[in-house]
Amino acid sequence: MRKFVWLGLLLALSGCATAPGPLDASSDVRAFVMALRDRDLPGIEARMDRPALQAQVTGIARAIAASEIAKRTGGGEGGQILGVLGADLANPLLERLSKQALEPAILADLARRAGLTPQTVLPSRTATGMGLKRLADGRVCAPDPQTKACILYFGRYPSGWKLNALDEAALRGRLAAPATPRTRR
């Protein structure tokens, strides 16, 4: 009987080792965060799927622009048409801005402003793996500690796990947030 228990345990552990999931991704996710913390620009670039992120950011910015233009032109069907046309015209600018926003230096600066400093002690690989969530589509996500909602999504690539999406609600909130008014001096 003991042999069957050990055999079952061995099979279960070997199955866990081959199934992609949080522990499998933890080294790459931790390396991404370390690259952000240490401002390792090539390391950041190597651990993100820039085309996927840029398409997401551009799409959201385009939808926000179309909605804003429609709202400012009175809404309704005519406003919607003007919103789509305006977003179409602004698309090259939106693409350029989203590309710039995803530059490793910008991401490192955002991480620094969010509190990820060179003095930040990162959790171990095991703790990182335990903090990640496995998703039905094969990706893993890093949840917000307070809300437990996924905020960063990582997909598996031949070269390892890479950041390939951001929480859309949080990103929309950042993109749609009104600019802080400047005071005149």
Mean pLDDT across the stretch 92-116? Answer: 89
User: Residue 156 in contact with residue 25, Cβ under 8 Å?
Assistant: yes
Whether residue 181 is predicted with pLDDT greater than 80 in this model: the reply is no
Mean pLDDT across the stretch 129-146? Answer: 90
CA-to-CA distance for 64 and 6, rounded, in angstroms?
56
The per-residue pLDDT of the chain, averaged, comes to 81
pLDDT of residue 11: 31
Q: What is the pLDDT of residues 62-85, one digit of tens each?
A: 888 888 888 888 878 888 888 888
pLDDT of residue 147: 84
Structure tokens at 13: 């552990």
pLDDT of residue 14: 36
pLDDT of residue 49: 96
The position carrying tokens 């789509």 is: 84
Helices 50-72 and 76-101: crossing angle, nearest 10°? 150
CA-to-CA distance for 180 and 167, rounded, in angstroms?
23
User: Residue 154 in contact with residue 161, Cβ under 8 Å?
Assistant: yes
Q: What is the pLDDT of residues 9-41, one digit of tens each?
A: 333 333 344 445 678 899 999 999 999 999 999
